[in-house]
Chains A and B, each alone.
Chain A
Amino acid sequence: MTDWSGYIGLILQGALVTVQLTLMGSALAVVVAFAAGLGRVSRYMAVRAAATAYIEFFRGTSIFVQLFWVYFVLPFAGLTLSPLQAGVLALGLNVGAYGAEVVRGAVRAIGREQREACIALNLTRAQAMRHVILPQALPLMLPTFGNNAIELLKATAIVSLISLSDMTFQAQVVRAQTGSTLIPFATILVLYFLMALAISGAMRWLERRVTRGLDGVRT
């Protein structure tokens, strides 16, 4: 009988890498999403065009292609990244492009009268965005951000193909060493599902957090 505890340890090590990738990728994605999403509603044509080009490019090509491109083609341009860096970069930029559309949609959804009130109060555009628009737009974004975070978690499995030892990679290692297929793959499926549940739980908590004090503001 195989000694499973060692293999479980291997998979848990992989789980740690997956969690790390998800957190770092999400952090990058949030930054990029706000930058590009607000870029799309900028008053400068050039900024709008750049943001649109970025979003269409990353939503139009597959995450898989982007990851391989970052990992295999960028080195020829003199930029060599470790698998982890390549993974975080590709995941963050890809999911960030989807997030940017969410940011734009939510900012657009805030009523005209709010903007007009800001102008009447003589707030600058930055102040209006920071103090009036974004606090109201944030709760609208969170549910979709939660879904995007789960998509990102699922996309991390792809990095196993550029030899980063995440959970999926370790499951393949266990498969190669023990010849057993059901146990490693079933284990990681359950672990991925638990992580997805944890993300949606965390997002629900965050949603309650940011809507606090907004009761009655929106109908």
Chain B
Amino acid sequence: MEWDWNFVWEIMPTLIEGLKITLIATLFGAAVAAVVGLVFAILRMTAPRPIARAVGFTVEFIRGTPLLVQLYFIFFVLPDIGIRLPALLAGIIGLGVHYGTYAAEVYRSGIENVPRGQWEAAKATNLSARQTWIHVILPQAIPPMIPALANYLIAMFKETPLLSAITVLELMNQAKSVANSSYRYIEPMTLVGVFFLVMSLISVVFLRWLEERYARVEEH
């Protein structure tokens, strides 16, 4: 079977449609992950012990099980208890919660790297817990985390094809449906691979830049 450029141009619009959904899922998934991760990290560090341990176990459990099964769980099991989510929303929540547990670890190490003196100074100046977090700890903790978080963003982008398993029409699913209706697998599958490769090569450059920009913050 030969590579056919005409066919490539013919299927390109469909694939671009899919790429849009892939990007939407990645962006919203990242937003959910950023928030969920922060909640997990703060609960694990400040909540009373039983709650902190329960959260810790939940994080370990989510990290130890496949995203695909978690997506099935959200998409197939939750409707039984009356929560019926559209496929894309279910996918975004799945991605967000799964990568939220990874982000939680990044946040935790970032927060633990803020020197003790900062906490003590905040206490000495009579800041409330809320003020301490928002004005003292998080502004210092977040910049060094950015490269690690961006790394997980790229990892998440590469996991979005899993959403095709719960019927989201993202890039991979569009390619599959094109392939199934035309019986040509080489072009769609290869193009999906090329799309991902190009996107991640670009993001590697972006990541290097982020590392240079933010990794130096500690050394002032």
Question: Measuring CB to CB, which residues of chain A are less than 8 angstroms from any residue of chain B?
Answer: 56-57, 59-66, 68-69, 72-73, 76, 150, 153-158, 160-161, 168, 171-172, 175, 181-182, 185-186, 188-189, 192-193, 196-197
Add 6 more A-B contacts to A154-B66, A168-B68 (CB < 8 A). A65-B161, A76-B185, A154-B65, A154-B67, A185-B76, A186-B73
Given A65-B172, A65-B192: A158 and B69 interface contact (C-beta under 8 Å):
no
Bitwise, B64-86 to A at CB < 8 A (1) or not (0) is 11111110110011001000000
B67 cross-chain contacts in A, Cβ below 8 A: 154, 157
Number of A-B contacts (CB under 8 A): 104
* Contact in complex: B68, A182 (CB < 8 Å): no
Interface SS, A side: helix
Minimum CB–CB distance for A67 against chain B, Å? 10
Over the window 195-209 of chain B, the binary record of Cβ atoms lying under 8 Å from chain A Cβ atoms (1 yes, 0 no) is 011001100100000
- The listed residue (B63, B68, B158, B176) touching A61 by CB distance below 8 A is B158
Whether the pair A73, B186 counts as a contact (CB closer than 8 A) is yes
Interface residues of B in 142-162 (CB under 8 A from A): 158-162
Which residue of the partner chain, among B64, B69, B73, B172, contacts A196 with CB atoms under 8 Å? B64
- A66-B63 Cα distance, complex, nearest whole Å: 23
Interface size on B, residues (CB 8 A): 35
- CB-defined contacts of A185 to chain B, threshold 8 Å: 69, 72-73, 76-77
Task: Indicate which residue in A73, A150, A157, A182 contacts B189 across the interface (CB closer than 8 Å).
Answer: A73
Q: Which residues of B contact A156 (CB under 8 A)?
A: 66
Q: Is the CB of B189 within 8 A of A158?
A: no
Bound CA–CA A66/B61 (angstroms): 27
> Which residues of B approach A to under 8 Å, CB–CB?
1, 61, 63-70, 72-73, 76-77, 80, 158-162, 165, 172, 176, 179, 185-186, 189-190, 192-193, 196-197, 200-201, 204
Contact residues in B for A72 (Cβ distance below 8 Å) = 179, 185, 189
